[in-house]
Structure 1
Amino acid sequence: MASASGILPAQASSLWNLTVGHTRTTIDHKSLNAPCIGNAVPGPILRWKQGDTVSVSVTNTLKHEDTSIHWHGIRVPSDMDGVPGLSFDGIKPGDTFTYRFRVHQSGTYWYHSHSGMQEAQGLYGAIVIDPAHPDPNYCERDYVIVLSEWTDVSPMDMISNLKMQDDYYTFRQRTAASFPQDARAAKGAWAALKDRLAWSRMRMAATDISDVSGVIYTYLLNGHAPDMNWNGLFRPGERVRLRFINASSMTLFDVRIPGLEMLVVQADGNDVEPVPVDEFRIGVAETYDVIVCPQDNQAYTIFAQSEDRTGYARGTLAPRPGMIGTIPPMDPRPVRTMIDMGMGTMRPGETMGDMSMPGHDMASMDMPEMGSAHMHHMGSMPAPPLEVDDPGPPPLNVENQNVAIMPINRLDSPGDGLEHNGRRVLTYKQLRATRPGADPRPPTREIILHLTGNMERYIWGFNGRKYSESGPIRLKKGERVRFTLINDTMMEHPIHLHGLWSELENGQGAFRPYKHTIIAQPGSRLSYLVTADVAGTWAYHCHLMLHMDLGMFRTVIVE
C-alpha cells in the first residue's frame, strides 16, 4: 500500500485536486481493491496557510456510490461543510465538486467522507494549517501520525452482528476463573459477587469496553500495520513535533512513547499551555500535537493501544532507518464500574437512600463553570437570566436502557483503564488555552442533552430518541449557549459539533480550551459554551460511526 510517510508537503498550497476511487492496494499484507483518496490510505496530507483561500476539487470515480469530503474542525460556510443531505447534495459518480473557502485557523485537523460508511473503509486524510505568524511550536522535525483501523468485515455486517449480540466482538468476558482477581480488586469476595449480580440484573457486561475490537480490527499508524514498523527519523537533541489524529471509526487509543516525555501543545488544532505527560487518550476524531526531545542514539516506540486492550498500532522514532524500538506489553483490560453506569460512588445493590454523603463533596459533582445556572459567570460580568431547555431524564424503553442516577464530572479523570497506572496521563481538566476566549459573554440559554442507548438492541440517540424521531436544535445567530451532556450509557461518546467551536468548561475560566470533538465519559456530565456565529445547518453527532449511523445524530440550525 502507498502508506503515508507522515512527512508534511514542503510548502502550503491553496489549490488541490483529489480523486476518490477504488485502487488495488495492500493493507495488513492483503491485496485488495479498496476505496481511497489519492490512491492511498490515509489520503494525502493537505497543507494550507492561515488566511489563504483554498480550492479543493474532488472527483468521484466510484462506480455506484456518491461521495463527499467533510473538513473536520475547519470553520467553513455551511454549504462547504460536506455533509450530504444537510449542506449539499453529495458528489455523484463521475462528477467533480469544488470546495472553496477562506482558512481562518491554524493547527492540525483532518478530512473524511461523510457519505455512508466510506470513512470506515479508508476515505480520510490529514490537514496541517501553517499559522499566519511564526509558530511558537516550531520543531526541527514535524510528523503527522494518523491512527486508524482496518477490517475486511463490512460496516453493515458489524451492525447486523451487534444487533444480534451486543458483545459479539467482546471475547474476554469475566469467568469463574477470573473471580479471585475480581475479589482482590473489590477488596472482598462478597463485594465482587454483588458487583457481578448487579451487572447481570442490568443485562450488561462490565467487560464491554469497545463495541468492535481487535478481534476483527488491525490497528494502523499512517497506514502501517504493527509489524510494518512506520519510521520517523531524528537526530539526538532535536525537537520533534508529532501531530496525532484519531481517524478511526470506533476506537479510542491510549498513546505513549516509553522513554520519552511528551509535551502537549495543541488540542484539536488550538494552542494550549504545554502539559508534560507520559500518556494521553485520544478519542475518535480528536487531534493532539505533542513535542518530544529524544537525546539518545536509540529507537523509541510510538505505542497506541486500543482502549479495550485487544490490539495496538505502533511505529518507531529512530536516528536511522529500519531501527525497531522495544514494544511494551499492553496494559490490563479495563473493567467498567458503577461510576460508568452513572451511579456515582454507589456500591452494587446500594440505593440512593443507603448512601451517606458526608460533606456533600461538591468537587465530585458537576456544576457549570463558576457556579450553577442561576449564579454569575465570567467574573464580574452579571449573568442574564438563563433559559434552560431540559427534557429531564429519558424514560426507560426499547431505545434507552439506563438512566444515570448520579452523573458526575469526570474531566479530572484520564479515562477507564488509565487511573493509577504509574504514568502521568493527560486529563481534560489540564487543558488551558494560551489566550482568553474570543467571546466573554455568559450564556443566555442552556440546552441539556442525554446520550442514550440500548446495548441489547444496539440503538443510540439523544434524549432517548433516534435522529428520525428528533427535530433540529435551533439557535439564533450570535446567541451564546451552554450545551450540557449527560451520558446515560456505559460507553464513551466523542461528540462533534460541525461549524462551531465548543469551549469546554473545565475550570480554566476565560482560558477554556476550544475543541471540535469532546469525549463524554460513561456516567458523566459535562458542559461547553458555543457561540452561534456562523449561520447554516450543522451536523451534531457521536463520532463513533456505528453510533452515529444508528441514531446518535442531530442537526443544529443557526438562523
Structure 2
Amino acid sequence: MWELATNFTEVLGAVLALLWGLAARWPGRVLVGLGLFAVVIQVGLVGLTWPTGWDFVSNRVVLALPLMLAPSIAVVVLCLPRMEPRWPIQAAAVGALLDFYVVFVDRPAPPYTVNVIVLWAILLGATGLLWWRQGRIRTLPVLAVVVVVLGGAVFYLQRASVLPDRLDMASMTNLDWGGGPVGMGHDHAMRSVTDLVGPVGRADAAFTLVAQEKRITLSSGATVDAWTFNGQVPGPELRVHQGDLVQVTLVNQLKNEGVTVHWHGLDVPNAEDGVAGVTQDAVRPGGTYVYRFRATQAGSFWYHTHQDSYQAVDRGLFGPLTVLPPEEVKGLDIPVMAHEWTTSQGVRTAFGTSDTLRRVAVAPGTPVRLRLVNTSDNTVWGEADKDPRTFVLTGTPFTVAAIDGTDLAGPTPLTDVRLPMGVGGRYDLTFTMPDHPVRLTDLADPGGGLLLGDGPAPAVRSDLPDFDPAGYGAGVPSPFKAFDRRFKLILDDGPAFYDGSLSFPSTINNLLFPDTPMLMVKEGDAVETTFVNRGHNDHPMHLHGHHALVLSRNGEPVQSWWTDSLEILPGQTYTIAFRADNPGVWMDHCHNLKHAFQGMVMHLAYEGVHSPFQMGHQTINRPE
C-alpha cells in the first residue's frame, strides 16, 4: 500500500503543477475545479501512507502539503466563483510546483528548518510579487526570466556536483555522534588505519590471488571478457578453518586497472579490509600486496575487489571464502555463487560459470550444505533497483542453517518457499539428500540452476511465499541493554546531478558521498541504527568489519539474527544494533554497487582513528 500510494503521490504532484499552471494562464472554473479536486486527492494519499510511520510522511506533511494547501484555500476564499483576482490562482501554481519539488525532486530528510524557511520565502515572495504586479506581467518576459534562472541553476548544480580530484578521508566534516558524547573526531588521530594490521607469525593457510584478464566461456557457449583471479571465475575457493592465521598475496596482472581484495562479512582488522582509498591504496598493475588476518568466525563469506567494484565485480573479480568449524565437515559442502554475466549473447544468469542446468552426482543419504552467495544485482528482469534476487530449492525439505556466515538458532524445515536475497547476502541451505533429484534455481532463469542427484529435474514454481528470517527459528537473545549511540538513516532517491551527470541516485539523509554522514563511535560503544527506506529501490546495506543484530522491522520485534548485508525494501524500517569492537574507518554502503557508485556510501569511524589515504579522479583509488 505504501509504495503504491507514494508513487501516485509523485505522479499527482506533476499533475497538480500542470493543472495549476494552466489555470494560472487561462483561469476558468473547470481547470480550477480540477486543481482543487487534485489537492483533495493528494491530501488523501498522504493520509493513506501515514500509518506506515512518521518518517515516511514527515517531509510531505511538514513541507509539501502546507505549500499546496495555503494558496488553494486562498483560491476558494478569494476567487470563487468569479475567477478574480488571478494572483491566488497563480500563487497556487507556485505552491503546486514547490509541492512537486519536495515529493519528487529534492525529497529532503529531517531536520526541515532550513527547507521550511527557503520554501516559504519562495512562496510568499512569489505571491507578493504576483499581487503587486497583477495584470502587468507579460508572458514572454516572464518565461524568458524563468528559462534563464532554471538554465543557470542546472549549470551550477552540474558543475557543483563534480567530485574533487583528490578527496582526503580525514577531511570528512559531516560527523554524526548519534546523540552520545562528542569526541575529538577522526582527523585528530592517535592511530592510523595502517596501524590496525593482522597478526604476525607463521600462516596456517597461505594463498596467492593473481588478477588477470581472460576470456571465459560459460556452459552455454557464451563468452565473457572477464577479469579473473587465477584465470577463473569465480576465483578459487579459499577454504580455511576457524582460528587459522590466513595470508593472501595479491598480484595484479591487469593491464590498466588497480585492484584490492575485500573479505565480505569477515570481521578482519581494519588495515586488512581491502578498500581502496580508505584502508589502502589500490594495487597498481604489476604490484603485489599481502593481507593477513585470523579467521575468527566460522561460516560462509566471499571476497571481491573494492576498487572500481561496480565494474570489476561484475566482470569477475570475486570468489568464495569458507571458514570451517573445528569439527570435521561431512558430506557435500560447496559454495554456490549466483552471478549475472555480460556476455557475447547478452546478460546471462549463472551459478558460477554454469548458465545452463548443471548436474552433480550425490548419493542418497549424503548431508548437503549449499553455501548460496548473491554476488550481483538482478538485471535480467530489469528490476535491479527494486527487487532482490530470488531462489527456489525444490525436491526436499531443507533448513536455512545460517545467514551471512552466522548459524541460526533453532532453524526448522522449510518446503515450497522462495528465498529472496539481497546483493552480498548468504544463506546456508542444509538437507539430507533424498533418493530423487533436488534442484536449486535462480528465478531470473527458471531453465537453469543446479541439479543434485540422478533422474528428471523437478518442476520449478515461482508462485510461492517468501522465506522471512524475521519469523524463523528461535531467534537470538539481545546482549544490548542500553545504547551509547543511536543513528537514524533515511534512504531515498530522486533526480540529481552526481559527479557531473544527471541521474536518479539513491541518497542517505538526502545526501550523496562525500557529504553523507560519518557515523562516529568510541571503542566499546553499543550502537543502535535505524534504517528507513522511503524511496523506490531496495537497499542491501553492508557495514564492513562488524556484524549487527536485527532488533525490529517496521517497529515490531523480530526473531533476531546477525547480519552484515541487510536487505531493506521500500516502505520498510529496520533497527539493528552492534558493538563497536573493531577500531578503524569502515565503509558502510548499499551493496547494490550501482547505488554505491552513484554516491550511496558513508563510513563508520572510531574516535582517534584516521585514514591517510585519498580517492578521486587524480588518484588511483576508486572504491566503488
* Cross-structure match for 1:494: 540
> How far does the alpha carbon of each residue in 1:449-485 deviate from its partner, in whole angstroms, 9 at most, with x for none?
0111126932122011111222411111111111000
Report which of the two has the higher share of helix: 2
Residue of structure 2 aligned with 1:256, choices 386, 392, 400: 392
Give the C-alpha shift of residue 313 in structure 1.
4.8
- 3-state SS of 1:44 partner: coil
**8 Å contact 2:470–2:559 — kept in the other structure?**
no
> How far does the alpha carbon of each residue in 1:374-428 deviate from its partner, in whole angstroms, 9 at most, with x for none?
xxxxxxxxxxxxxxxxxxxxxxxxxxxxxxxxxxxxxxxxxxxxxxx455x3212
Residue of structure 1 aligned with 2:486, choices 438, 446, 470: 446
Residue of structure 1 aligned with 2:370, choices 223, 227, 242: 242
For the residues of structure 1 that align with 2:405 and 2:209, how far apart are their CA atoms? 23
For the residues of structure 2 that align with 1:93 and 1:42, how far apart are their CA atoms? 21
**8 Å contact 1:69–1:113 — kept in the other structure?**
yes
For the residues of structure 1 that align with 2:560 and 2:393, how far apart are their CA atoms? 28
Residue identity (%): 27
**1:128-139 to 2 correspondence within 5 Å?**
128-132=322-326, 134=327, 138-139=329-330
Give the C-alpha shift of residue 300 in structure 1.
2.7
Cα 1:435/1:495, change in 2 over 3 Å: closer
Cα 1:505/1:124, change in 2 over 3 Å: same
Cα 1:449/1:55, change in 2 over 3 Å: same
**8 Å contact 2:358–2:448 — kept in the other structure?**
no
* Cross-structure match for 2:443: 305
Cα 1:104/1:434, change in 2 over 3 Å: farther
Residues 1:111 and 2:303 are matched in the alignment: yes
Residue of structure 1 aligned with 2:510, choices 435, 447, 464: 464
Residues 1:266 and 2:402 are matched in the alignment: yes
For the residues of structure 2 that align with 1:57 and 1:249, how far apart are their CA atoms? 28
**8 Å contact 1:37–1:123 — kept in the other structure?**
yes
**1:31-430 to 2 correspondence within 5 Å?**
31-116=223-308, 117-132=311-326, 134=327, 138-152=329-343, 216-225=346-355, 227=356, 229-250=357-378, 252-272=388-408, 273-278=410-415, 279=417, 280-296=419-435, 298-306=436-444, 313-319=448-454, 325-328=457-460, 331=462, 421-423=463-465, 425-430=466-471
- 3-state SS of 2:535 partner: coil
For the residues of structure 2 that align with 1:486 and 1:32, how far apart are their CA atoms? 38
Cα 1:305/1:18, change in 2 over 3 Å: same
* Cross-structure match for 2:584: 536
Give the C-alpha shift of residue 558 in structure 1.
1.6
Q: Which has the larger radius of gyration?
A: 2
Give the C-alpha shift of residue 249 in structure 1.
3.7
For the residues of structure 2 that align with 1:433 and 1:131, how far apart are their CA atoms? 22
Cα 1:122/1:467, change in 2 over 3 Å: same
For the residues of structure 1 that align with 2:351 and 2:343, how far apart are their CA atoms? 18
> How far does the alpha carbon of each residue in 1:339-388 deviate from its partner, in whole angstroms, 9 at most, with x for none?
xxxxxxxxxxxxxxxxxxxxxxxxxxxxxxxxxxxxxxxxxxxxxxxxxx
Alpha-carbon RMSD across the aligned residues, in angstroms, is 2.5
Cα 1:129/1:222, change in 2 over 3 Å: same
Cα 1:99/1:512, change in 2 over 3 Å: same
**8 Å contact 1:489–1:522 — kept in the other structure?**
yes
- 3-state SS of 2:596 partner: helix
For 2:300, the aligned partner's letter is T
Cα 1:490/1:216, change in 2 over 3 Å: farther
- 3-state SS of 2:207 partner: strand
Cα 1:445/1:121, change in 2 over 3 Å: same
Cα 1:221/1:105, change in 2 over 3 Å: same
For the residues of structure 1 that align with 2:580 and 2:448, how far apart are their CA atoms? 38
Give the C-alpha shift of residue 29 in structure 1.
1.7
Cα 1:299/1:13, change in 2 over 3 Å: farther
- 3-state SS of 1:469 partner: coil
Residue of structure 2 aligned with 1:549, choices 572, 582, 597: 597
Cα 1:143/1:542, change in 2 over 3 Å: same
Give the C-alpha shift of residue 253 in structure 1.
2.1
Please, which runs of 5 or more residues in structure 2 have no aligned partner? 1-202, 379-383, 497-502, 608-624
For the residues of structure 1 that align with 2:504 and 2:476, how far apart are their CA atoms? 42
**8 Å contact 1:218–1:311 — kept in the other structure?**
no
**8 Å contact 1:428–1:506 — kept in the other structure?**
no
Cα 1:432/1:274, change in 2 over 3 Å: closer
- 3-state SS of 2:394 partner: coil
For the residues of structure 1 that align with 2:333 and 2:205, how far apart are their CA atoms? 20
Cα 1:434/1:55, change in 2 over 3 Å: farther
* Cross-structure match for 1:359: none
Cα 1:516/1:313, change in 2 over 3 Å: farther
Cα 1:422/1:24, change in 2 over 3 Å: closer
For 2:485, the aligned partner's letter is R
Provide the TM-score with structure 1 as the length reference: 0.64
Cα 1:78/1:18, change in 2 over 3 Å: same
- 3-state SS of 2:467 partner: coil
- 3-state SS of 1:275 partner: coil
Cα 1:261/1:139, change in 2 over 3 Å: farther
Please, which runs of 5 or more residues in structure 1 have no aligned partner? 1-11, 154-214, 332-420
For the residues of structure 2 that align with 1:237 and 1:311, how far apart are their CA atoms? 27
- 3-state SS of 2:413 partner: strand
> How far does the alpha carbon of each residue in 1:33-80 deviate from its partner, in whole angstroms, 9 at most, with x for none?
421111111111100111111000010000111001100001111110
For the residues of structure 2 that align with 1:235 and 1:104, how far apart are their CA atoms? 33
For the residues of structure 2 that align with 1:455 and 1:312, how far apart are their CA atoms? 37
Give the C-alpha shift of residue 490 in structure 1.
2.0
* Cross-structure match for 2:569: 521
Q: Which structure would you say has the larger RCO, counting Cα contacts within 8 Å and 6 or more residues apart?
A: 2
- 3-state SS of 1:301 partner: strand
Cα 1:422/1:74, change in 2 over 3 Å: closer
Cα 1:113/1:431, change in 2 over 3 Å: farther
Cα 1:324/1:532, change in 2 over 3 Å: same
Cα 1:303/1:311, change in 2 over 3 Å: closer
For 2:364, the aligned partner's letter is P
- 3-state SS of 1:217 partner: strand
